[in-house]
Every structure is written in C-alpha cells, then in structure tokens.
C-alpha cells in the first residue's frame, strides 16, 4: 500500500538538501543517463511545439528541487515556461532559489489546481510511485494537458524477471539504504524506497492505466534491464 502524503512529505523535507547528490550516488550514476534520455525527448517535443510560435507551457509534477525546470531554464527559457508543483516545501525552497522567476507551488498531484487543457507538456520523474493513488495522478495529468499534449514519466518499476526484482530489493534494502543513510544522515527513506517499487504498477499495468486515462499513443522505453522506464504518452 502506498505511504500517506504526510509520511512522504516528511521524508522528502528531510532529504531536500542532499536529494540530488544521493540519488546519483546510490544509482551508480545511472540516473544521469536516464535523465539524459528524458532531456533528449523533451528537446524533440519542444522543437515540434515551438513551430507554432506560441509559448510552450510545461507542468513538472512532483518537481522536487526543480531538476527538470533547471535544465529547461538553461536550454529553452525563451520559448518554454515551467510551473513546478510538489507536496514538499523543503524541496521547493531549493527550486525557487535556482529559478526565482518561475512558479513553484505546494500542491497535490491528485488534485491539480489548474484548469483542464492548460499545458503543452507534463512530466513526473521518480515521484509517481510515492503518490497515494498513482492512477488518479495519471488521470489528472491527462486532464490538464491540451489536446496533442505530451505526458512524460521517468520511473522505477518492478522487474519483469522475479530474480532480478529480488536482487534489486536486496540492493536497495541493504547497500543502497546504508549508503543513502550515510550520505544523508537518515536511513529511513531508503528502506521505504525499497518497498515502494514492489507495490507500484508493472510496465503493463502502467500502460493500461494511461490508456484508461485517455492517452491515445503510449510508448514505453525500458531501461536497466526493465527495472526503469521512460514513458511518452500523447493526449
């Protein structure tokens, strides 16, 4: 069962100052490759959307410290504006310091405070599985996207192979938890993360949920032998 929003908020408030560095360390640097794939995809989408000459509106859900908005600010700030939303004020403080002219608001991905058909692009990275109702978050992302809008999801999912999944849980539950605890000073979040993957959608379950939400085209790129995905969904 997913953890409560209050529990997740408390964990990420504690992790905020070291979150990005610890994520790189415990993933063995693989997370940088996954983000690079996401950024290349965003580049293509931004390029297509920019042909209209209209400003591109991007919503980053569970934005955390603003890693995605920061990349967009550096590369596309004259054509794209990003709004970040997150439950965790501690994370958002860092995002606001990095990009003081962009909007970062405390809010719930299950009840997005935006009108329907408002954004050209929506993203969520390594945040969906921490939500109390991931399916509802997907439906909400669909609602706020404009027709022909893109929803990109970067996430860890259960391995299709049972043995690989057990090995992953052992790694996250022991080596990763100890390393994360040493680097951050708190082992609790990393023990929680080990269990959060096992209760999340399988790749097929994720695709089915996106289809039910209304997305008409769904492409899922497996990474790390199927234990992570980059999903590209078109409304």
For 206-215, write each residue's pLDDT tens digit.
Answer: 999 999 999 9
User: What count of Cα atoms within 13 Å lies in the side-chain half-sphere of residue 226?
Assistant: 12
Q: What is the DSSP letter of 83?
A: E
The answer to whether 128 and 137 are in contact (CB under 8 A) is yes
Indicate whether 3 pLDDT > 60: no
Cα–Cα distance measured from residue 136 to residue 150, given in angstroms and rounded to the nearest whole number = 17
Show Cβ contacts of residue 120 under 8 Å, excluding neighbours closer than 6 positions.
Answer: 49, 56, 57, 58, 145, 146, 149, 150
Q: What is the CATH code of the structural domain delimited by 5-157+201-234?
A: 3.40.50.150
Domain positions in the chain are: 5-157+201-234
Q: Specify the pTM.
A: 0.83
Express each pLDDT in 138-197 by its tens digit: 999 999 999 999 999 999 887 676 665 565 655 555 555 555 555 555 555 555 555 555
Q: How many CB atoms lie within 10 A of CB 206?
A: 24
């Amino acid at each position: 069962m997913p953890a409560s929003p209050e529990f997740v908020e408390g964990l990420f408030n504690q992790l905020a100052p070291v979150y990005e560095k610890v994520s790189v360390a415990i993933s063995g640097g693989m997370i940088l490759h996954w983000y690079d794939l996401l950024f290349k995809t965003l580049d293509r989408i931004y390029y297509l959307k920019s042909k209209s000459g209209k400003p591109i509106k991007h919503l980053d859900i569970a934005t955390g410290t603003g890693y995605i908005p920061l990349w967009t600010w550096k590369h596309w700030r004259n054509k794209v504006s990003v709004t970040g939303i997150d439950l965790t004020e501690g994370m958002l403080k860092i995002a606001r310091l990095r990009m003081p002219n962009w909007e970062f608001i405390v809010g719930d991905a299950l009840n997005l405070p935006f009108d329907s058909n408002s954004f050209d692009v929506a993203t969520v990275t390594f945040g969906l599985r921490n939500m109390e109702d991931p399916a509802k978050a997907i439906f909400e992302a669909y609602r706020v996207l404009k027709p022909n809008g893109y929803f990109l999801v970067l996430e860890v999912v259960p391995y299709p192979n049972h043995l690989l999944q057990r090995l992953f849980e052992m790694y996250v539950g022991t080596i990763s938890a100890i390393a994360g605890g040493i680097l951050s000073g708190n082992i609790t979040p990393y023990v929680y993360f080990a269990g959060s993957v096992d209760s999340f959608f399988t790749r097929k379950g994720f695709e089915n949920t996106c289809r039910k939400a209304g997305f008409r085209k769904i492409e899922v790129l497996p990474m790390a032998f199927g234990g992570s995905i980059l999903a590209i969904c078109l409304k």
